[in-house]
A and B are shown apart, each in its own frame.
Chain A
Amino acid sequence: NAGVTQTPKFRVLKTGQSMTLLCAQDMNHEYMYWYRQDPGMGLRLIHYSVGEGTTAKGEVPDGYNVSRLKKQNFLLGLESAAPSQTSVYFCASSYSGQTNQPQHFGDGTRLSIL
């Protein structure tokens, strides 16, 4: 049982380049989330999805776009990478959107923007 899988695990980009991070879950969860984790800070929500074909903005959505074309996949895109987007990105999923449901996290993508 893989749970939540993120690809790639590491990536280095130059400023202005674009890329897409992929998240896949095999738990049939409805809700999926993208977070960023920076040193000394808690997780911050970028975007989330309440189901296939739907997305919504979180706390820090600027500079990112997302898509959820299939229930099991949630993509995070950076159109024009900036050094401020250097971070570790985590994808998570949960059975429902109720806050009493614990989220299941992937192992992260470590992204450096030069």
Chain B
Amino acid sequence: EDQVTQSPEALRLQEGESSSLNCSYTVSGLRGLFWYRQDPGKGPEFLFTLYSAGEEKEKERLKATLTKKESFLHITAPKPEDSATYLCYPYNFNKFYFGSGTKLNVKP
């Protein structure tokens, strides 16, 4: 059965403390994966698309990587404004598979 698991469910970091969020999946016919950011009371906001194993994308303090079985969102020297829920959505030809997200809290 196709499924997505994001870990940890919640992560608390001090400002400047780097870490990584994990998205592991079993999706038949994987074509790619999206990362989104969701702030409280807002809708998901698109961050990255990754298409193939080995691909990396960067945006400010975020770097997303992709393997055949999982994706990582690395956060380098995070700031309080990086606090949000991060969602991964692998997809195949037919549909998206929505993870439940990692809630990141960065303390000053």
A contacts, CB < 8 Å to B:
4, 40-44, 90, 92, 99-100, 102-108
Add 11 more A-B contacts to A100-B31, A105-B45 (CB < 8 A).
Answer: A40-B100, A42-B99, A43-B44, A90-B43, A90-B44, A100-B49, A100-B51, A102-B49, A107-B41, A107-B42, A108-B42
> With a CB–CB cut-off of 8 A, which chain B residues contact A105?
43-45
Can you list 7 pairs linking A and B with CB atoms under 8 Å apart?
A: A40-B100, A42-B4, A43-B98, A100-B91, A105-B44, A105-B45, A106-B43
Q: Evaluate contact between B46 and A99: CB separation under 8 angstroms.
A: no
Nearest CB of chain B from residue A12's CB, rounded to whole Å? 17
Closest 7 CB pairs of A and B: A42-B98, A105-B43, A99-B91, A43-B98, A102-B46, A42-B100, A107-B43
Nearest residue, chain B, Cβ from A99: B91
Interface majority SS (helix, strand, loop, mixed), chain B? loop
CA distance A92 to B98 in the complex (A): 14
Nearest CB of chain A from residue B21's CB, rounded to whole Å? 15
CA distance A108 to B42 in the complex (A): 7
Interface majority SS (helix, strand, loop, mixed), chain A? loop
Of the candidates B31, B93, B100, which one forms a contact with A41 in the assembled complex, judged by CB atoms under 8 Å apart?
Answer: B100
Most buried by A among B45, B87, B98: B98
Q: Is B59 an interface residue (CB 8 A)?
A: no
Nearest CB of chain A from residue B86's CB, rounded to whole Å? 13
Q: Evaluate contact between A99 and B93: CB separation under 8 angstroms.
A: yes
> With a CB–CB cut-off of 8 A, which chain A residues contact B4?
42
Most buried by A among B34, B43, B44, B51: B43
Nearest CB of chain A from residue B75's CB, rounded to whole Å? 21
> With a CB–CB cut-off of 8 A, which chain A residues contact B49?
100, 102
